[in-house]
Amino acid sequence: MAFDRVLRGQVFDQLCSGSSLAAAGRAVGVSKTTAKRWWVQAGGMDLNKGAVGGLGDMISVGIGGRGHRLSLAERETIMVGVILKVTPAATGRVLSRDRSVISRELARNSNLDGTYHALLAHWRAAGKAKRPKRFKLVDHPQHTMIEEALDCGWSPRLIADVLKILYPDDKLMWVSHETIYQALYVQTRGSLRADLHKTLSTRRAARKPRDRESKLGKPFRDAFTIADRPEHVEKRKVPGHWEGDLIMGSDSSAIGTLVERSTRFTILLHLPADHRAETVAEAMIAAMNKLPEHLLASITWDRGTELAGYRDIQLKLDLPVYFCDPHSPWQRGTNENTNRLLRHWFAKGSNLRAHTAADLQRVSRLLNDRPRPTLDYQTPAQALAKLIDTDIITAA
């Protein structure tokens, strides 16, 4: 068996170097039929017919370098490791590569019979990297659905996940999120509308540190901090705990956002005039008074001056307001993620006063009707409907 493996490798070397099947067999001492059988079993590429020999598509392939692509020498080391049954982690240490690089190489470029041959793998990798390729979204049966979902603010990953749920047994209906991203940004492929890249959520830039407390005289000196918040809130098992913040636009315009931690249900606060503490408190109290008592457990907010009226909020809504540590937006992770999604409709740098209360209600409905992987692809509206009546959802 080991001797056959050596002969097989020698045949592959001959074929990858330009020999015909007959010539490769003669050089190794096996018949043309045997050489062909080994090649087919390995999943080798198409070969030129007759005495010409060599691969049917003689693409340019070098020995490689130390970039993200493996070199031929590195693949030869991987082949030795496979023969010696060395783990990918150990091979990675020898090559100063992460173990995942070795594992991916074996998964992508091993032969169909489970063996691994360095030169054949090198040619196979070069063939996969060849450009241009036929694009997977050309004439895709769900092409229209993908465009409509992007228009509604769905992320490429969410679209890919939902297609797998809708068509679990039909892989022709599936498409990877990476394929959608490529369709959006590689415009020469022309498989999706050229403007659809604008529908993707805006990546948040790094915030500049702001020492608010020293400048504002510690307006939250007597407030509850996130350290005071009960531990069960973090586990999302009990509904009624909300996170909030402002989305900022140009000319000091703003929209308030409130997100329920367990269902991800979102309420938008219309702030057409300003976002002073009194204005935000009034809008928040008016919106949350529509909710049933068991969904009013707590609010967690950033330390912005817009919530300096937290005492009035606590009194009118009969719930505690907790404040995050300075410069710690991850302590409101649910709200931060929601605000990123909302940028699909409320672009950075735009004047948010242009949006009416009806606009905010429409956007919140679209967002609350969006399936969420964290909810097993339920929508926030469906999750909240299990807790309260449908008419209350609509009112919110």
What b/e string do you get for 139-163 counting C-beta neighbours within 10 Å, with b at 16 or more? Answer: ebebeebbbebbeebbbbebbbbbb
* Pair 171, 310 in one domain: no
pLDDT of residue 138: 61
Tokens of 332: 């409101």
Residue 262, C-beta contacts closer than 8 angstroms, at least 6 positions apart: 236, 237, 238, 239, 241, 383
pLDDT of residue 270: 96
d(CA 150, CA 325): 35
pLDDT of residue 185: 58
pLDDT of residue 190: 44
pLDDT tens sequence across 10-69: 888 877 777 788 888 888 888 888 888 887 888 776 776 666 566 655 444 554 554 567
Tokens of 277: 């503490």
Low-confidence ranges of the chain (pLDDT < 70): 1-3, 45, 48-68, 129-139, 182, 184-219, 389-396
d(CA 32, CA 46): 15
* Pair 21, 121 in one domain: no
pLDDT of residue 48: 67
* Pair 155, 262 in one domain: no
Residue 63 belongs to a domain: no
Backbone angles phi, psi at 392, to 5 degrees: -70, -35
**What's the helix, strand, coil split of the chain in %, to 5?**
50, 10, 40
* Pair 9, 105 in one domain: no
* Pair 147, 254 in one domain: no
Tokens of 389: 């009546």
Domain CATH for 376: 3.30.420.10
What is the distance in angstroms between the CA of the first residue and the CA of the last residue of the chain?
Answer: 71
- Give the range of the structural domain holding residue 86, as residue numbers without chain letter: 72-129
pLDDT of residue 231: 80
pLDDT of residue 206: 30
pLDDT tens sequence across 316-360: 888 889 998 877 888 888 999 999 999 999 999 999 999 999 999
d(CA 206, CA 171): 39
Residue 276 belongs to a domain: yes
Tokens of 334: 């649910």
d(CA 160, CA 150): 11
Q: Tell me the one-letter amino acid at 38.
A: W
Residue 43, C-beta contacts closer than 8 angstroms, at least 6 positions apart: 111, 112, 113
* Pair 29, 164 in one domain: no
Residue 51 belongs to a domain: no
pLDDT of residue 226: 87
Residue 350 belongs to a domain: yes
338-341, long-range: CB < 8 A, 24+ apart: 338/257, 338/259, 338/264, 338/266, 338/367, 339/245, 339/247, 339/257, 340/201, 340/202, 340/203, 340/204, 341/153, 341/201, 341/367, 341/370
**Number of domains making up the chain:** 4
